[in-house]
């Protein structure tokens, strides 16, 4: 069985960047991805606009050309796909990693198809696969979705959007503009401070004029087939409802990290242990890259500021005796 220098878990932008850096350094590698290429980006809303400009989403020194300053989802998918294919990266798609086990100085990485051997493992799995649940009655109903894709589906429907950050605001505005009757439930006193600066005035103005209803300092208490109960500062409010978009954020697969041997902080943040200079975890030869490094603080890392993780990791691996 071939022993790879590196096995990379995740074929998102940072996983691809790690593959490019490994290839450039002359290291043997393989990338295992549980879904399609850039699976998380593929599952983003159809019309999502990135906060970053295109040059800050570039990986491997390969130019990302966009027709506007802020690229949109289809442009990003095109870019990362072309980068992967034109560089003939060694990617295995639709092959989820099930276990990672260290034996002496070699990692045995088992997927749903086979087992690979590698001297080093890079985990670049992101955080978009596991939604933060509400843990309220009715959350299991088919009308409740923790992901938002296309506004047309919600035309002429009564839609409740839970949350006040970018995904929630985008969903509220887009469904409203496709003819939905939109209500937002916001836990804090206002729209999130991290909402894209060109979108924030739009949602605040729509709320101020009454086009979109918003309950602040509020929480959803129960969901039923045709109604939702909302706890507000003025008491319990029941409204008619057809669909709920519970866009309350997502989290890394902490169980996967722990099973791989990565130590997490014992507080609610669940920060994984790693050396910020090399990105190596408490497990020798195992590294973290990208947003998975942030634990529950999923807003700390993103493509723009974690692209250099690939170079840090590969430099550390390449500097070891072989």
Count Cβ atoms below 10 Å from residue 72 Cβ, excluding itself: 16
Q: Classify burial at 63, counting beta carbons within 10 Å of its beta carbon; exposed 0-12, middle 13-18, buried 19 or more.
A: exposed
Looking at residue 145, the DSSP 8-state letter turns out to be E
0.85 exceeded by the pTM?
Answer: yes
Looking at residue 209, the DSSP 8-state letter turns out to be T
Q: What is the pLDDT of residue 304?
A: 84
- Could you read off the pLDDT of 248-299 as tens digits, one per residue? 988 999 999 999 999 999 999 999 999 999 999 999 999 999 999 999 988 8
Which H or E run contains 39? helix 39-42
Q: φ and ψ at 129, to 5 degrees?
A: -90, -20
- Could you read off the pLDDT of 206-243 as tens digits, one per residue? 999 999 999 999 999 999 999 999 999 999 999 999 99
Q: What is the pLDDT of residue 322?
A: 64
Q: What is the pLDDT of residue 170?
A: 94
Q: What three-state secondary structure class fits 212?
A: coil
Distance, CA of 277 to CA of 114 (rounded, Å)? 33
Q: What is the pLDDT of residue 300?
A: 86
Q: φ and ψ at 262, to 5 degrees?
A: -75, 130
Q: What three-state secondary structure class fits 315?
A: helix
Count Cβ atoms below 10 Å from residue 86 Cβ, excluding itself: 9
Reading the chain (322 residues) residue by residue, the pLDDT tens digits are 799 999 999 999 999 999 999 999 999 999 999 999 999 999 988 888 898 899 999 999 999 999 888 999 999 999 999 999 999 999 999 999 999 999 989 999 999 999 999 999 999 998 888 899 999 999 999 999 999 999 999 999 999 999 999 999 999 999 999 999 999 999 999 999 889 889 999 999 999 999 999 999 999 999 999 999 999 999 999 999 999 999 998 899 999 999 999 999 999 999 999 999 999 999 999 999 999 999 998 888 888 889 999 999 999 999 887 6
Distance, CA of 273 to CA of 223 (rounded, Å)? 38
For every residue of 75-91, DSSP letters joined together read HHHHHHHHHHHHTT--E
Q: Are 181 and 150 in contact (CB under 8 A)?
A: no
List Cα–Cα distances, 292 to 31, 75, 311, in angstroms.
16, 24, 17
């Amino acid at each position: 069985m071939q022993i790879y220098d590196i096995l990379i878990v995740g074929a998102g932008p940072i996983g691809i960047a790690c593959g490019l850096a490994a290839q450039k350094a002359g290291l043997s590698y393989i990338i295992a991805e549980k879904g399609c290429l850039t699976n998380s980006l593929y599952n983003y809303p159809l019309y999502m606009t990135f906060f970053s400009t295109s040059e800050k989403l570039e990986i491997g020194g390969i130019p990302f050309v966009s027709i506007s300053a802020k690229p949109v989802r289809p442009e990003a998918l095109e870019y990362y796909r072309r980068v992967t294919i034109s560089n003939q990266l060694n990617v295995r798609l639709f092959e989820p990693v099930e276990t990672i086990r260290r034996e002496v100085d070699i990692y045995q990485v088992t997927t749903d198809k086979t087992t690979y051997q590698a001297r080093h493992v890079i985990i670049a799995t992101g955080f978009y696969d596991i939604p933060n649940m509400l843990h309220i009655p009715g959350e299991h109903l088919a009308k409740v979705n923790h992901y938002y894709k296309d506004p047309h589906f919600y035309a002429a429907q009564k839609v409740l959007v839970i949350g006040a950050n970018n995904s929630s605001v985008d969903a509220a505005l887009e469904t409203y503009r496709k003819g939905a009757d939109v209500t937002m439930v916001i836990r804090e006193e206002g729209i999130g401070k991290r909402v894209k600066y060109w979108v924030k005035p739009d949602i605040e103005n729509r709320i101020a004029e009454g086009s979109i209803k918003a309950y602040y300092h509020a929480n959803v208490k129960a969901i039923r087939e045709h109604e939702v109960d909302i706890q507000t500062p003025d008491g319990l409010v029941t409204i008619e409802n057809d669909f709920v978009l519970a866009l309350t954020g997502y989290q890394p697969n902490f169980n996967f990290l722990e099973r791989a041997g990565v130590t997490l902080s014992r507080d609610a943040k669940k920060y994984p242990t790693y050396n910020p200079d090399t990105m190596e975890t408490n497990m020798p030869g195992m590294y973290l890259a990208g947003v998975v490094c942030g634990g529950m603080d999923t807003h700390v890392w993103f493509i723009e500021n974690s692209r250099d993780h690939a170079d840090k990791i590969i430099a550390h691996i390449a500097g070891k005796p072989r």
